[in-house]
Structure 1
Amino acid sequence: MRSLLVTSEYYPLIKTGGLADVCGALPPALAAQGVDARVLLPGYPAVLDAVRHTVTVAPLPDLFGGQGRLLRGRAPDDTVLYLVDAPHLFARGGGPYLDPAGQDWPDNHLRFAALSWVGAHLPAGNDGWQPQIVHAHDWQAGLAPLYLRSRPDRRPRSVVTIHNLAFQGLYPSWRMNELRLSPEHFTADGFEFHGQIGFLKAGLVFADRITTVSPTYAREIMSAEAGAGLDGLLRHRSAVVSGILNGLDTTVWDPAKDTALPAAYAANDLSGKATCKSVLQRRMRLGEARNRPLFGVVSRLTQQKGLDLLASLVPAIVRAGGQLALLGTGEPGLEATFRQAAEDHAGHVGVLIGYDEQLAHLILGGADALIVPSRFEPCGLTQLQALRYGTLPVVSRVGGLADTVIDANTAALADGAATGFVFAPSTAAALADAIGRALALFSEPDRWRSIQRRAMSRDVGWTRPAQAYRALYQDLLQADSTA
């Protein structure tokens, strides 16, 4: 079984968020299930520099405004990567989507149409490899299923995975011709979305199957509240929509082997976690005290992530004897609010605006609890990391957060099932109640450690998700063979 993952990000080569983590970890997990999974990526400079043993597969002579070539090489974990080496589209500074000034690249429509086009028309190299499944990820690859429909030969089957429905890739209708799109599909039943071209909508209309990254999010996006204007389409296609929960790369996130931690620990010996806490307190200029509950945050600072809810509760956390270590970047107003909180509560609140991979690991290892108060969350990875590190998640009951954390309510505490603290609705009052319950339970060390061990025992790896994707691929191919 041969699958091509088409994506704009791939950890550890290029990353802005969870999309990279998923697309970096899923191919080797699929390989363990017998799937020959390869990845198609834009040829960003950092990617071209990092990929090993590249060879030219084929020229790409007419690629949305210039010439390019298709390269094949190996990722650090030996996954086969195909790279769209098109200097006119990808050889530039800045990030994958934004220029150095933080603005969208004005030709993003061409850049990701090119990625989708190559994904749908992948040339066979000297090994003759061709995909049976084209698995497009998010709006950046959303046109691939539509481009596949234009192939005159027997086409691969297609899957689109929604990582975040809020980002849809919308462009003016007058760009249809340069994107090689037919006006016959510019309808409400096609890729038209409120008078614009919808990259993600094209994928949702024309893909053979649609997945998203948690079962609860799959249900949520069929509602008007969470459907971002596409809920009607998703309800219409509900028979081919499924939610497959993301996993975590447990070789990267393992407190027993994590070189970013000052001390290793495991469920059967949590002593190293106390060392991690002390180091984190020093790093964030917090008072060193093992008996003070330390809440961590590793997040984009946005309204979607609910960080405004947390900001309003910082004084109450400090009054209750808690500490806060926050790492993130995002909306300027929230950045300023948390900077001010660190000044107002020196020794109790530590804030680093930006991103630091090493510090992210240290927060997961050293904090007692991790706060994830998202208003919506397709899956979430930090709560999985928190479970793995025995850092009890405090999460809102939405999306993948609801699917992965078991609330420490009376029943769950009684039967030993609790792994964290879940609250609803997404309000400051509900979050305050969950934090209050966490503070109360922290004062009972034996019960707290018991929940930590339970959290660390949860299977958060990629084996089960990869099995689900393999089953989906197999179902598609069997349906194709009997059609």
Structure 2
Amino acid sequence: IFFCKAALELARRLTPQVQILDAHDWAAALVPVFAYAHGLPFKTVLTIHHVADQGSFWGLDFALTNLPERFFTLRGIEFFGRLNFLKGGILYADRLTTVSEHYRREILTPAGGHGLDGVLRENAHRLSAILDGVDYTRWNPASDRSIPARYDPRRFRGKQICREALLKEVKLESAPRGPVFGMVTRVVEEKGFEILVPLLDRLLWDDVRLIILGEGDPAYETALAVASKKFPAKFAYQKNYDEKLAHLIQAGTDISLIPSRFEPAGLIAMYNLKYGALPVARVTGGIQEIIEDYDPTADAGYGFLCYDYSSEAFWDAIKRARQMFRDRRLWTKLMKRAMARNFSWDASAEQYEALYRELPGTDNQLAT
């Protein structure tokens, strides 16, 4: 509440005059509500990255907002007797955006809307999708100073050096016959660990390597730790995030694993492609807009997708990837195809600018 109030007070004092405020997710979702309630001269946009996080608090905290009582109603920030910040932002923002077209469709359904699908459907005419972008000044193997050797689609020797350096860094046996799998993620159910953990034994009995970096649900953390003790030469799990290791995993991995139940934007897939770590992924959210499934008949695509949220479906996609990995000439071609994809912020920024210009009362020189 106080963060949103402070943001508005700052906006009122900035020069040149701010015209548009783009609030992101529940923590900033009261900004459009306050701007409307107090008649402030700002147009507002609410960008939804994760509709499951809504900022839901008990109704007695409504007094802290200093809003008139009419805002704690069905047409305000009240939701089943509680405060719901995200609902308020959806109702009062001038425009709504989310981070991929498929996620936009998902959140309009009961399965994907987490209770707010009805509110979102009522306001769907104001909801559009703009795919997130990647900062390639930080995430680019051709210039990344966090990895031991740089590489690009014309020179892959650096990737092999990074692969060897990664296995040495996490103390796994070198030179596996099979691929090196990697994940940099939150270790929670929505990232697909309920379907991945049952596959660990099956995956690691082969001569492959697996590195996972991330923390989250203690139950899944424990399962990963146990598996790493069972396969100490093949599987390394590190709980505490390390930026340098995250870059090294991207660069040293042959195949990335994305079994997510929800993946609104799919940023991790964008990083994977740029580093030539071909993804095995479940189709959800932005994944289908980022990864094209490999079709050997048409010789198109560069990733390996599954559509069912189940261990067996994900295992089938892993098996397809491992089979293709044996053909080194084909794998190199797929890597080049993946690394050629461009998800820079340039295109996304142009779409945001176009959306801002559609807002009434804004001029050609936007200050946001």
* 1:123–1:135 Cα change, 3 Å: closer
Aligned partner (choices 298, 303, 309) of residue 189 of structure 2: 303
- Counterparts in 2 of 1:263-342, with a 5 A limit? 263-289=149-175, 291-342=177-228
Hey, what does 1:119 align to over in structure 2? Answer: 7
Alpha-carbon separation, structure 2, partners of 1:258 and 1:476: 39
Q: What are the Cα deviations for residues 160-183 of structure 1, in whole angstroms up to 9, with x where unaligned?
A: 001111111111111112211222
Determine whether 1:128 maps to 2:128: no
Q: What's the counterpart of residue 377 of structure 1?
A: 263
Residue in structure 2 matched with residue 15 of structure 1 by the alignment: none
Identity among equivalent pairs (%): 37
Q: Which residue of 1 aligns with 2:317?
A: 434
Cα RMSD, aligned residues only: 1.6
Helix, strand or coil for the counterpart of 1:265? coil
Letter in 2 for 1:118: A
Find the partner of 2:38 among 146, 151, 158: 151
**What residue number does 2:46 align with?**
160
* CA-CA distance at 1:158 after TM superposition: 0.6
1:218 aligned onto 2:104: yes
Q: Does 1:421 align with 2:304?
A: yes
Shift in Å at residue 123 of structure 1? 5.2
- 2:212 alignment partner, SS class: strand
The question of 1:403 aligning with 2:289 is answered: yes
User: Where in structure 2 are there 5+ consecutive unaligned residues?
Assistant: none
Between 1 and 2, higher relative CO (CA 8 Å, sep ≥ 6) is seen in 2
* Deviation string, structure 1 residues 302-349 (Cα, Å, up to 9, x no partner): 110002211111111123322111111111111111111111112111
- Aligned residues, how many? 364
Distance 2:12 2:61 in 1: 29
- In the aligned structure 2, how far is the partner of 1:240 from the partner of 1:456? 34
Task: Describe the SS at the equivalent of 2:271.
Answer: helix
Partner Cα distance (2:234, 2:176) in 1? 13
Name the SS for the 1:272 alignment partner: helix
| Letter paired with 2:345 | W
- Per-residue deviation, residues 329-384 of structure 1 (Å, max 9, x unmatched): 11111111111111111211111112111100000000001101100111121111
Write the letter of the residue equivalent to 2:281: V
SS state at 1:136 partner: strand
Aligned to 1:452: 335
| Letter in structure 2 aligned against 1:236 | E
Q: Secondary structure at the match of 1:287?
A: coil
Q: Which amino acid aligns with 1:122?
A: L
> Whole-Å Cα distance in 2 between the matches of residues 322 and 308 of structure 1?
21
Give the number of the structure whose residues are more often strand, by fraction: 1
Letter in 1 for 2:278: L
- Change in Cα spacing, 1:324 to 1:176, as seen in structure 2 (3 Å) is same
Structure 1 segments unaligned to the other structure (5+ residues): 1-112
SS of the residue 1:365 aligns to: helix
More helix by share: 2
The answer (yes or no) to whether the contact 2:294–2:302 under 8 Å persists in 1 is yes
Would the alpha carbon gap of residues 143 and 351 (structure 1) be closer, same or farther in structure 2, given more than 3 Å must change?
same
TM-score (norm 2): 0.95
Query: Comparing 188-197 with 456-465, which one deviates more in the overlay?
Result: 188-197
Partner secondary structure for residue 112 of structure 2? coil
Between the aligned partners of 1:117 and 1:129, the Cα distance in structure 2 is 20
Q: Is the 8 A contact 2:178 2:322 kept in 1?
A: no
Partner residue of 1:475?
358
